Every structure is written in structure tokens, then in C-alpha cells.
């Protein structure tokens, strides 16, 4: 399982379109099972899974030392997304309250993977319709405005931001939070409570685009996501399925458009 995936994209450099290939960070779920039961699922970049689970178990208080477990390994081979942990009987007796505090109990399959996530979400979220278009220069200008809506970041250098705009790039709302997911929930909630969610057509993000952010935008029916940082491979896969346009600032001038470029129109 690779840590990166090679994707083809369109680079609009403010003058012309070019096709390029870029490596995107892989994002896959890892199911952690303790004593044969699902304990948690974490999204991670493939690699160092046993170390990740060991660190997770230590920081969660499941183990204190290597003597506290008798086995820690992949379920049915290293290509699976499941790691099982078996605790020493004496350790199990010490932490019953932790073992009862399982944060994830519904997924029992050893076949858990990013493709299943995309397919499951595709079954529950309707793809967005076409018909919305934005001028490419306007899209870049809209994304570059995000710094105006980050007072907490300017003070602390530690906050993410999300902002929503109409198709004409009229500002609707912005929000900041230490968590990028929270920032997006906040701004969607603001526009929803103002009764203007049907006007929200462009989402700008200060962070990278993970699949969860695509999912949230899809539920809010926002068809265009513009971000400072690049998406994960799983985010692109989900956006392709749900007909959401993903674009980020390019290394040079312009935008990298990762999927559904039909909504981004060249400047006349």
C-alpha cells in the first residue's frame, strides 16, 4: 500500500491550460481492534502501521509498556487495513473502563478501505448537479482572500479557516477553529442559520482537503472547493464521484484543478 498516488491534473497558469502529474498523499482508514473487538478507526497515510497502533495504544492508556500486550499485528496480512492487539490478562484486568470506552464499534470488516468509504458515501449523498460556473481569475482571487478572514491565525499561527461565497464571489461567512473540520462545520452552520445555504457555491479552505471535508461540502451542496493546500487522493476520488470541483493554488501562478473542471471557465 503506497503512501502517495500519482494523479493527473490541469494546471491553469493564468494564461493557458497544461496537463501535469502530481503525487497526492494517500489517506486510508486503519481499524484498531483490541481483544478481538473494534476499538477505533483512524485515518492515516499508509506506512508504519504497527508503530502507529503502538503509539495510539500508549497515548490512549491501553498499554503502559511492551509487557502489557502479547500480540500486535495485521489481520490477514500487511495489505489489510486492520491491526489487532491482544493484551496480557493482567493488563486487561487493570483497564476495564478504557476497554469499555470504545469510540468506534460499527465496522467489523477486515476489508475496510478507502474505496469502501467512497462507495458508502456515494450511496448516501446525491452527486451535485452541473450548471454553476466561475471565471478562473475570480476563483483565484476568491481563494486569495482567505487571509482576510483569519484574525486568529494572525494572532496565534494555529487556526484553520473556511469561508463560503456565492457564485459571484460575494462573501457569505467565514469561521476559524483549531480543527479544520470544526472550521468548516462552523461556517456551514452560520450560513445555514442565516437562511443562505442555497447561495453557497464556493468553499475556500486554508488547509489541505481531506475526504471528510469533501463529504461535509457535499452534504451542504457546495459544488466548488478551493484550497491553499492540496487534496488527499481519497478526497479526489470522493469528489470525482460526487461531481464536486476541487482546485488548489499552483506552485506558480494559477490553479491546479484535480477533478470536474467544467465549472471553472477560462477568462475571456
Give residue 221's pLDDT: 95
Identify which of 37, 83, 78, 26 has the alpha carbon closest to the alpha carbon of residue 56: 83
User: Shortest CA distance to 122 belongs to which of 233, 38, 240, 9?
Assistant: 240
Mean pLDDT computed over 165-187: 91
Q: Which of 84-93, 125-134, 150-159, 218-227 has the lowest mean pLDDT?
A: 150-159
Any idea which architecture 123-265 has in CATH? 3-Layer(aba) Sandwich (3.40)
Catalytic residues: 110
Reported as type and span, the H/E element at residue 237 is helix 233-242
Q: What is the pLDDT of residues 202-244, one digit of tens each?
A: 999 998 999 999 999 999 999 999 999 999 999 999 999 999 9
Summarised one tens digit per residue, pLDDT across range 182-203 is 899 989 999 999 999 999 999 9
DSSP string, 93-123: HH-HHHHT--S--S---TT--HHHHHHHHHH
Confidence at residue 86, expressed as pLDDT on a 0 to 100 scale: 97
The domain limits of the chain are 28-112, 123-265
Nearest by Cα to 139 from 60, 254, 230: 254
- pTM of this structure: 0.82
Q: Are 264 and 247 in contact (CB under 8 A)?
A: yes
* pLDDT(108) > 80: no
pLDDT digits (tens, 9 = 90+) for 22-54: 998 888 888 999 999 999 988 888 888 998 899
CATH class, range 28-112? alpha beta
CB atoms within 10 A of CB 180: 23
The burial of 12, by beta-carbon neighbours within 10 Å (0-12 exposed, 13-18 middle, 19 or more buried), is given as: buried
Burial of 243 (0-12, 13-18, 19+ CB in 10 A): middle
C-alpha cell at 5: 498516488
**pLDDT (0 to 100) of residue 80:** 75
Q: Tell me which residue has cell 480543527.
A: 179
Report which of residues 256 and 110 the model is more confident about: 256
Q: Which of 76, 2, 5, 75 is nearest to 34 (CA)?
A: 75
Predicted pLDDT of residue 15 = 83
Q: Find cell 478572514 and name the residue.
A: 149
Could you tell me which residue, 102 or 9, shows the higher pLDDT? 9
Report the 3 state secondary structure along 130-144: CCCCEEHHHHHHHHH
Amino acid at each position: 500500500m503506497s503512501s502517495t498516488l500519482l494523479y493527473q491534473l490541469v494546471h491553469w497558469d493564468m494564461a493557458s491550460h497544461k496537463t501535469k502529474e502530481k503525487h497526492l498523499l494517500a489517506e486510508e482508514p486503519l481499524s484498531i481492534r483490541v481483544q478481538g473487538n473494534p476499538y477505533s478507526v483512524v485515518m492515516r497515510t499508509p506506512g508504519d502501521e504497527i508503530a502507529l497502533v503502538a503509539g495510539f495504544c500508549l497515548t490512549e492508556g491501553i498499554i503502559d509498556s511492551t509487557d502489557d500486550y502479547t500480540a500486535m499485528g495485521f489481520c490477514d496480512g500487511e495489505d489489510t487495513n486492520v491491526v489487532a492487539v491482544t493484551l496480557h490478562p493482567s493488563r486487561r484486568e487493570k483497564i476495564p473502563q478504557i476497554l469499555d470506552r470504545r469510540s468506534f464499534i460499527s465496522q467489523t470488516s477486515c476489508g475496510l478501505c478507502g474505496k469502501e468509504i467512497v462507495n458508502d458515501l456515494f450511496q448516501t449523498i446525491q452527486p451535485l448537479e452541473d450548471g454553476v460556473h466561475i471565471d478562473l481569475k475570480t476563483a483565484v482571487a476568491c481563494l486569495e482572500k482567505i487571509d482576510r478572514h483569519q484574525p486568529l491565525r494572525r494572532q496565534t499561527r494555529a487556526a484553520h479557516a473556511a469561508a463560503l461565497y456565492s457564485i459571484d464571489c460575494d462573501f457569505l461567512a467565514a469561521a476559524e477553529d483549531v480543527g479544520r473540520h470544526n472550521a468548516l462545520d462552523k461556517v456551514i452552520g452560520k450560513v445555514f442559520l442565516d437562511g443562505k445555504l442555497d447561495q453557497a457555491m464556493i468553499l475556500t479552505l486554508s488547509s489541505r482537503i481531506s475526504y471528510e471535508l469533501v463529504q461535509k461540502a457535499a452534504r451542504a451542496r457546495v459544488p466548488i472547493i478551493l484550497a491553499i493546500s492540496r487534496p488527499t487522493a481519497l478526497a479526489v476520488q470522493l469528489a470525482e464521484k460526487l461531481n464536486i470541483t476541487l482546485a488548489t493554488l499552483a506552485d506558480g501562478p494559477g490553479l491546479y484543478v484535480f477533478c470536474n473542471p467544467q465549472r471553472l471557465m477560462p477568462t475571456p
